[in-house]
Amino acid sequence: MELKWLEDFLSIATTRSFSRSAEARNVTQSAFSRRIRSLELWLGAELLDRSTYPVSLTAEGRAFRESAEEIVRLSYQSRASLGGGKSTLPQASIALTALHTLSVTFVPRWLGGLRQQLGPLGSRILPENYALCIQALVEGGYDFLLSFHHPSVPVPLDPARFPCVTVGHDSLAAVASSGRAADWRLAGRLPLLQYSRGSFLGLLTSLAQAQPGAPETFVAHINENSMAEAMKFMALEGHGVAWLPRSLVAPEIDAGLLEVVAPELPMEIRLYRNANRSRTIVERVWQAAAQGYSKNA
């Protein structure tokens, strides 16, 4: 078994494409395919389901991915410590997928706290929408998922395989440009900046709009990509009311640029883990996350 076979496997586990991985690994596609097949023969297991498009990992491939990541990391770390070269890999690393907003507002501070407690810690982060974050965690390529949570929105994860811990709190706030909010109130109905159908924050917005005291609205704009960051700038430019995580708009609220126009909807910030991924650093991060929140709660 050769180290480059493992690196090839990790590449295609990420790209899901033989051609893209072959190009990234600077080999022909046929040579790349032979190396992947050699790894499968050495392991005695099929790692890839080639009948799907894009190619997907088999159950064996998902189970082996974490081992491959750790073997590659330790190999380069050992080589560096023995004087054979400079390692570009940290002592330990986690793979995290998170909602776009949390990647901007929560993840940098949270990772900083972990590094203070655990020491040097590398990270690989995938910011995505809720559905793709769930998919990334389930497919086995990521250790953790960070997401907002509200008890009225079901989570499509088996709690035995994907346990969770609360690591923070936020709220969904209806905000409008301070220069326009008063005029809209006089008109009696506020223009709503709406998320695309089925989006996670769109579901939470429906709950928030149903609360007592929420303003009457009409849809003025639909944001098809459902990124809260884009909705924030639409609200700042006076296009309407947007329901956004308070952590995302707190500076603009404090500066008087945005005004909260409805009761806020409380949300938890939850960390989910893939119980099948159990490297030492994963266990340490999991314990630190739970203990850190309990101390601050």
Same CATH topology for 93-169+269-296 and 172-266: the answer is yes
pLDDT (0 to 100) of residue 205: 94
Cβ 239 vs Cβ 184: under 8 Å? no
- Residue 120, preceding bond cis, omega within 30 degrees? no
Residue 297 has pLDDT above 50, yes or no: no
Looking at domain 3-81, its CATH class is mainly alpha
- Give the C-alpha separation, 256 to 4, whole Å: 55
Q: What angle do CA 160, 166, 171 make, to 5 degrees?
A: 130
Q: What pairing do the DSSP bridges indicate for beta strands 122-128 and 93-99? A: parallel
Is it the case that residue 91 has pLDDT exceeding 70?
A: no
Q: What are the C-alpha distances in Å from 98 to residues 30, 124, 158, 216, 247?
A: 35, 11, 18, 32, 15
CATH class of 172-266: alpha beta
pLDDT exceeds cutoff 90 at 139: no
pLDDT at 83: 65
The C-alpha atoms of residue 130 and residue 238 are separated, in whole angstroms, by 27
Q: What confidence tens digit (pLDDT) does each residue in 240-270 have?
A: 999 999 999 999 999 999 999 999 999 999 9
- Tell me which of 3.20.20.70, 3.30.70.270, 3.40.640.10, 3.40.190.10 is the CATH number of domain 93-169+269-296: 3.40.190.10
Domain ranges of the chain: 3-81, 93-169+269-296, 172-266
Of residues 77 and 68, more confidently modeled: 68
Phi, psi of 174 (to 5 degrees): -85, 115
DSSP state of 216: P
Backbone angles phi, psi at 69, to 5 degrees: -60, -45
3-state DSSP assignment of residue 163: coil
